[in-house]
Amino acid sequence: MNIKPIKAEVDYRDALKRLEKIFDAAIGTSESDEADVIGLMIDEYERNHYPIEAPDPIEAIKIRMEEMHLKQMI
């Protein structure tokens, strides 16, 4: 297992590629452990570099209603 920190976008892309290769590794193998660690590092990098803002509550309701094909009754 050769894991290095994700410090830049190129490291992030490399980590995603590696995770894609070992994603289905059998539990208990070194590749499975590597996937766990890389997944945690990717998650942390994404939280810091690609934050997802919480939606406005009203907008969230409208989106959910649209997804469910619901309409407001007047």
- Summarised one tens digit per residue, pLDDT across range 35-65 is 999 999 999 999 999 999 888 999 999 999 9
Share of the chain above pLDDT 70, in %: 100
**Which 8-state DSSP code applies to residue 15?**
H
CB neighbours of 51 closer than 8 A, spacing ≥ 6?
A: none
> Which one-letter amino acid corresponds to residue 34?
E
* Confidence check: pLDDT of 12 > 90: yes
**Which 8-state DSSP code applies to residue 59?**
H
Q: pTM higher than 0.85, yes or no?
A: no
Task: Give the integer Cα–Cα distance in Å for 71 and 66.
Answer: 8
Q: Between vectors from CA 16 to CA 12 and to CA 10, what angle results, nearest 5°? A: 30
Mean pLDDT, to the nearest integer, of 12-38?
96
